[in-house]
Amino acid sequence: MTAGSPDTTPDGALPRPRGGRMPRRERRVQLLESALEVFVAQGYHAAAMDDIAERAGVSKPVLYQHFPGKLDLYLALLDASCDTIIDGCREALASTTANKDRVAATMKVFYSYVASEEGAFRLVFESDLTSEPDVRERVDRVTIECASMIADVIRTDTGLPDEASELLAVSLVGMAQVSARFWLAGGGGISQDDAAALIAGLAWRGIRGYPMTDDH
């Protein structure tokens, strides 16, 4: 079994002779970490199970002992990432009752999610497997659940009908996720906090402009 350099496995651990093994649960966690790195770097289609196994420093059958198939491995990671951003959004909205602060907190959550070291957001915002229904369902659910929480606030405070509130909420989610990804790709001309505050300011100015008496 080849290693990247003499005496170490690809992740820098000491070489493990045949049977140099881990408890099953530790191995599963390690495989997920390696898989995430590969899927984030290459996307689903360009990532081969060979690549993932190599990154984990194991052979391919080990992957199949823990996951029924490649798609299952991907969905396990996607689920975790979806939960992260949905939970974060919920917590941000619940963290205060002041709407201006809710907007700021939510924007901060999106920027932190996109900025996180392991890049799990790419499985949600930049998936190349959305033709697969199980993936599409999860990716859409992120937008729908985040928007739904935001729409509840909009509806309560503006009296706008459901469809309008939902569409406004979705556009705020779109603003957050597209600008955060652009900020990340742009190499940080603005700090993360300043960028999040800037876009939160735009969002707040926009959304506070809907008084209760407004109708369209």
Partner DNA sequence: GCTGCACGCCGATCTTGACCTCCACGATGT
Partner DNA sequence: ACATCGTGGAGGTCAAGATCGGCGTGCAGC
Binding of residue 115 to DNA (CB under 7 A): no
Q: Give the whole-angstrom CA distance, residue 10 versus residue 30.
A: 13
Q: Give the whole-angstrom CA distance, residue 175 versus residue 141.
A: 17
- Of 209, 212, 213, 215, the one binding a second copy (CB under 8 A) is 209
Site for a second copy in 67-126 (CB under 8 A): 126
Site for a second copy in 145-164 (CB under 8 A): 147, 163-164
Q: Give the whole-angstrom CA distance, residue 146 versus residue 172.
A: 10
For residues 27 and 141, which CB has a smaller minimum distance to DNA in the complex?
Answer: 27
Nearest-approach distance from CB 59 to DNA, in angstroms: 3
Site for DNA in 64-93 (CB under 7 A): 64-65, 69-71
Q: Give the whole-angstrom CA distance, residue 78 versus residue 160.
A: 33
Q: Give the whole-angstrom CA distance, residue 129 versus residue 58.
A: 25
Q: Give the whole-angstrom CA distance, residue 106 versus residue 200.
A: 8
Binding of residue 62 to DNA (CB under 7 A): yes
Residues 6+ apart with CB under 8 A from 166: 147, 148, 151
* Count, residues near DNA per rule CB under 7 A: 27
- Of 11, 21, 137, 140, the one binding DNA (CB under 7 A) is 21
Binding-site ranges for DNA (CB under 7 A): 1, 16-24, 27, 46-50, 57-62, 64-65, 69-71
